[in-house]
Amino acid sequence: MTLDLNKIKQAQKNIEGVVRKTPLIYSSTFSKQSGYEIYLKCENKQKTGAFKLRGAYNKIMTLTPEEKEKGVLASSAGNHAQGVAYAATACGIKSTIVMPATAPQAKVEATKGYGAEVIQHGEVYDECYEKALEVLKETGATFVHPFNDEEVMAGQGTIALEILEELPDVDAIVVPIGGGGLISGVAVAAKSIKPDIKIIGVQSEIIASTKASLEAGKVVTVGGAKSLADGISVKTPGDITFKYIKEYVDEVITVSEDEISYAMFSLMERSKLISEGSGAVPLAALLANKIKVDGKKIALLISGGNVDMAMILKIINRELILQKRRLRFSVELQDRVGELGALINHIGKLGANIVSVRQDTNWEEKGIDFANVVFEIESQSKEHSIEIMKELKEKGYNVQSLSLS
């Protein structure tokens, strides 16, 4: 275990001028909701859209000329891939990246755009890692591990230096955990500067390999489906990172898929920040009241923002439905001129946004003089939705709520 504050400070010098110093934003919204003073460390604003560039660039800067000549190889769910590709191209080095077949297309295309050759294999990180080892034997390239490498961990630790430079009295830093490289670097840096700071890790509960390993007292491999937080869907934590986690991390919390989805939505709506699932897990833990800190100031590390637009749409629709801000209902109308127009006008006056209107062409039991019209609307809140339904019924309309999936 040779990772220390000096190595992390050297990494900060190595990446200077290439890696951005990302903003640390105070959130009044999340502060009010939690009772803490909440700051968001926005690594989703980093070049390549995630923190991974820090570790990848630092690692490549430490390679020998002979190693650089052979090129670099990496396996990644997406963010490390982009970091390695960007760093390698910036240094004039060939890069090959093995990514899961399930990796978000935005991450795959971005990695290719940064100049890497991409090979897709497997469902999660661990499977593409095995494939990368096969490629490594064939090419002799230098493998840049996404987390189980102290030079990579040192690069990630520079995030803690930035947080403490800007907010020296921070009481806790909450960090996503996949393989453990990010939290290891952050924890070593932060605890070396401020020993009483609390470092809290967060994982998806459906693939919580680090938490399971801590409970077992050794590195273990867990099963589990791929999480919405795909960047931290790692079955087996690193053996090197695990040593640092045991020594420097105070607590590991798990969050559900619903909690991750809600956090992603909340970051978009309240902070105007796009975060991937992995980046949202610290906020997910906070909003689920799972974080307990003696002090007041907490930094949440929003580790990345690389998420498909299609996924963002799914998250928004899902949360609007769960929060009863999008609803579907049918209204029985007499099939005559002006009835539908009057109803649409009335719904508009109630402050709802009509998403769609469709007349049900199925046979109406009352006969051909009646029709069921299906509405899908958006409201301002759950309470607003309830009020709209109440007003329509009081107006004399026969309204039936419908399920929305």
Taking only the tens of pLDDT, the chain with its 405 residues reads: 899 999 999 999 999 999 999 999 999 999 999 999 999 999 999 999 999 999 999 999 999 999 999 999 998 877 888 999 999 999 999 999 999 888 777 778 889 999 999 999 988 777 888 999 999 999 899 999 999 999 999 999 999 999 999 999 999 999 999 999 999 999 999 999 999 999 999 999 999 999 999 999 999 999 877 799 988 988 999 999 999 999 999 999 999 999 999 999 999 999 999 999 999 999 999 999 999 999 899 999 999 998 888 899 999 988 998 888 999 899 988 878 888 999 999 999 999 999 999 987 665 566 677 888 999 999 998 899 999 999 999 999 999 888 765
CATH topology of domain 5-50+149-317: Rossmann fold (3.40.50)
Task: Provide the edge-to-edge strand list for the sheet that holds 398-402.
Answer: 353-360, 370-378, 326-334, 398-402
Residues carrying CATH 3.30.70.260, the chain: 324-401
- Got the DSSP string for 49-118? GBTHHHHHHHHHHT--HHHHHH-EEEE-SSHHHHHHHHHHHHTT--EEEEE-TTS-HHHHHHHHHTT-EE
Residues carrying CATH 3.40.50.1100, the chain: 5-50+149-317, 52-143
Q: Of 41, 52, 107, 198, which is the active-site residue?
A: 52
Architecture of domain 324-401: 2-Layer Sandwich (3.30)
Q: Which residues touch 363 (CB under 8 Å, ≥6 apart)?
A: none
- Rounded to whole angstroms, the Cα distance separating 34 from 23 reads 21
Query: Phi and psi at residue 302, in whole multiples of 5°?
Result: -85, 95
Correct CATH for 52-143 of 3.50.50.60, 3.40.50.11540, 3.40.50.1100, 3.40.50.300 = 3.40.50.1100
Q: Is 381 a catalytic residue?
A: no
Q: Is 211 a catalytic residue?
A: no
Q: Of 303, 330, 379, 385, which is the active-site residue?
A: 303
Side-chain-facing half-sphere of 277: CA atoms under 13 Å: 27
> 142 forms bridges with which residues in the sheet?
72
Tokens of 14: 């190595």
- Exposed, middle or buried by CB within 10 Å (0-12, 13-18, 19+), for 289? exposed
